[in-house]
Amino acid sequence: MSIKNSNLALNSANKLFFLRKFIESPFQIGSVTPSSKFLAAKMLEPLDWRSIRSIAELGAGTGVFTKYIDSFKHPDCKAAVFEKDHEMRCKLKTCYPEMMYFEDALALSEQLQAAEIGSLDAVVSGLPFTLFEASVRKRIIDGVINSLKPNGIFVTFQYSLQMKTMLMNNFSQVEISFVPLNIPPAFVYVCRK
């Protein structure tokens, strides 16, 4: 089997795995398919990998962003991955064993302290905020803000503009862009503390 055919087979298997997880937990998994490479590129574009020494990913899923974080990060960078689904988290640990793994993004600050990671330069999120109650959204955003260094960056995507007001009220700068080449199309929020 050629490398191209091998990658296609792996990509198809990831999509089927993701779809199965969505069917099992539609209020935990925010989409029927993983994020596209176009969305991943837009999400990671604002990060200055030369200066990032600590990063967290929230809601890693099948690892679309994790793969790029692993390949772009500086060798000295500490990377924490938060994924609630046990099976997805185990698969990610197998693929990217040098990263640290945690279950609950609601405990972001506490988990980072326990792991002696300290404040973060960046947080990348694939969490489906629109599926969460307002109090859960607030707790996660508060955790992100408390975990970021001054001038730290928070990048997330959503399928609507529902998070716009909350993010603008909590970050000093918020830029929004649109990625049409994703299923469904997505808005990317780049927020600076």
Mean pLDDT of the chain: 87
Residue 4: CA atoms inside 13 Å, Cβ hemisphere, count?
Answer: 0
Domain hosting 89: range is 3-192
Mean per-residue pLDDT for 50-61? 96
Residue 25 has pLDDT above 90, yes or no: no
**Amino acid occupying residue 98:** E
Closest CA to 150 of 171, 167, 164, 169: 171
How far apart are alpha carbons 99 and 77 in whole angstroms? 10
* Pairing status of strand 54-58 against strand 78-82: parallel
Q: Rounded to 5 degrees, what angle do the CA atoms 124, 48, 191 make?
A: 45
Mean pLDDT lowest for which of 13-27, 39-53, 100-114?
13-27
Six-digit token pair at 184?
A: 């469904």
Are the C-beta atoms of 92 and 81 separated by less than 8 Å? yes
pTM of the predicted model as reported, rounded to 2 decimal places: 0.84
Six-digit token pair at 189?
A: 């929020």
Are the C-beta atoms of 82 and 60 separated by less than 8 Å? yes
Helix (H) or strand (E) holding 186: strand 186-192
Q: Percentage helix, strand, coil, to 5, in the chain? A: 45, 25, 35
Instruction: Go through 127-156 and write b for each residue having 16 or more CB atoms within 10 A of its CB, e for each that does not.
Output: bbbeebeeeebebbbebbbebbeeebbbbb
Q: How many structural domains compose the chain?
A: 1
Residue 36 has pLDDT above 70, yes or no: yes
Q: What is the pLDDT of residues 79-121, one digit of tens each?
A: 999 999 999 899 999 999 999 999 999 999 999 999 999 899 9
CATH of residue 162's domain is 3.40.50.150
Would you state the pLDDT for residue 65? 96
